[in-house]
Structure 1
Amino acid sequence: MYIIIGLGNSGKKYEHTRHNAGFDAIDFLSKRHNISVTKIKHKSLIGEGRIGAEKVVLIKPQTYMNLSGEAVLSAVQFYKVDIENVIVLYDDIDLDIGKLRIRKKGSAGSHNGMKSIIKCLGRQDFPRIRIGVSKPEEGRDLADFVLSRVPKDKQMDMDSVIEKAADTIDEIINSDIDKAMNIYNG
């Protein structure tokens, strides 16, 4: 069994912003695998289903980004899943739009959602997929930047990396994380 968490902020005004790349990836996975992510449980919208032969729980925490760890901890404790089967998808300003990075473990960097998850779980040795959203221009407020949408001329690249993130999840589940890293960490 896998728990797949996409980070973002709930509410219409945050839909499809850079900071909601994780939510967008969960939405893509839910459509691809016909998993309805509508149940409210563990301070999250969740959906249970299958990817291939494996049972999965797709999660969109509803705690807002800075408290994502509360939702993740609740789900991990409830489902009693091994930490290597907890995968977090989130936006990363250190990667250009269209790029992604898969890691088996690591620090939170400057990402408050990941800081919250690491703090609540008390560990950082879980897989994550970082979705590139690019850096803000010089002098632009970081919060304003990540809560903005990508420019129209970059939307195709953003759509492509969201699909690639979903492909990565499929590869991890149907094969393993090392193979996914070899294919998608390009």
Structure 2
Amino acid sequence: MRTGWFFGRFCSFFSHFFEKLPSFVAMRRLLTRIINRVLLDASVTPAMTGAEAEIHTEGRRKLVVGLGNPGMEGTRHSVGMAVLGALAARLGVADRWHGDRHVSGEVILSEVQQTRLVLLRPRLLMNVNGVSVAKAAGKYGIRPEDILLVHDELDKPLGKIAIKHGGSARGHNGVRSCVDCLQTDVMLRLRVGIGRPSGKTSVERHVLSRFSSAEQKVLESVLVQSVDLLISQLSQQDSPSAPSSPAGGRAAAAAAQRKQKEV
């Protein structure tokens, strides 16, 4: 009886103890935020070359980012990089990629109908892609509302794409890193469907896997449609800028619009 009582108390204590501990997911997010801040604080604003300085002249400037993992460009999780590569090819600048250690990524400077573009492929892991995005935005003087993130989307099947105007990261670690580093969620996003895993395949294994030969054929069409949509978005005239905020960018924009109507 004494042993049973002691074992019960022991289990009760540890159950209560672990309930008080932060979850693994929460701990991982906290650690990622710390890494984001450390990497950003360590950055130094570089002196710019003529071509880089020219982008700061008057006119529209936009940053288009293909989120992903360096060295894993052919995987589902890095489909954003594939879209950005297709965009560079359509613009005839695919041979201009060059590494820029000051933004921890590879960049191309280009234009679309009088809009100056910076194309960016981060060379950091997906979970800290935001560091590269924030560095590039700072270097080229680009506002968060003029940043377009291209990334994979589990909740859409392969073959489906959609534009999302700000809002939460919805579980995407790369987007969450961007929101954390830029301290706002107003960035426009092109969500490229990769579908959820079937059977017992884990999400982690699914997103890090490569597309099958049959899926590659669908992907070719997806890349064309994605580039068409990107160019359409980039060619549009600027609309009134949504206010940047530490959180709730879309909600802040809606509130501002309501206020204008009331006036």
Q: Secondary structure at the match of 1:48?
A: strand
Give the TM-score of the pair, scaled to structure 2: 0.64
Closer, same or farther: CA 25–177 of 1 in aligned 2, 3 Å:
farther
Structural RMSD (CA): 1.5
Q: Secondary structure at the match of 1:131?
A: strand
- Supply the AA of the counterpart residue of 1:18: R
The structure carrying a bigger helix percent of its residues is 2
2:109 is the counterpart of 1:51: no
Identity over aligned pairs, percent:
27
Gaps of 5+ in 1: 179-186
Gaps of 5+ in 2: 1-60, 240-263
Distance in 2 separating the partners of 1:139 and 1:177: 46
2:196 is the counterpart of 1:135: yes
Contact 2:154/2:195 (8 A) holds in 1 = yes
Structure 1 residue aligned with 2:222: 161
> Which has the higher Rg, Structure 1 or Structure 2?
2
Deviation at 1:7, TM superposition (A): 0.6
Distance in 2 separating the partners of 1:31 and 1:96: 25
Contact 2:130/2:179 (8 A) holds in 1 = yes
Structure 2 residue aligned with 1:17: 75
The residue correspondences of 1:27-66 to structure 2 (distance < 5 A) are 27-35=85-93, 36-41=96-101, 42-66=103-127
Q: Secondary structure at the match of 2:116?
A: strand
Contact 2:152/2:194 (8 A) holds in 1 = yes
Contact 2:144/2:182 (8 A) holds in 1 = no
- Supply the AA of the counterpart residue of 1:32: R
Contact 1:105/1:124 (8 A) holds in 2 = yes
Q: Secondary structure at the match of 1:87?
A: strand
Closer, same or farther: CA 20–137 of 1 in aligned 2, 3 Å:
same
2:64 is the counterpart of 1:4: yes
Q: Secondary structure at the match of 1:71?
A: helix
Give the TM-score of the pair, scaled to structure 1: 0.89
Count matched residues. Answer: 176
Structure 2 residue aligned with 1:70: 131
Q: Secondary structure at the match of 1:120?
A: helix
Distance in 1 separating the partners of 2:215 and 2:207: 15
Contact 1:7/1:113 (8 A) holds in 2 = yes
Higher relative contact order (CA 8 A, sep 6+): 1
- Please, which moves more after superposition, 168-177 or 134-143? 168-177
- Supply the AA of the counterpart residue of 2:180: K
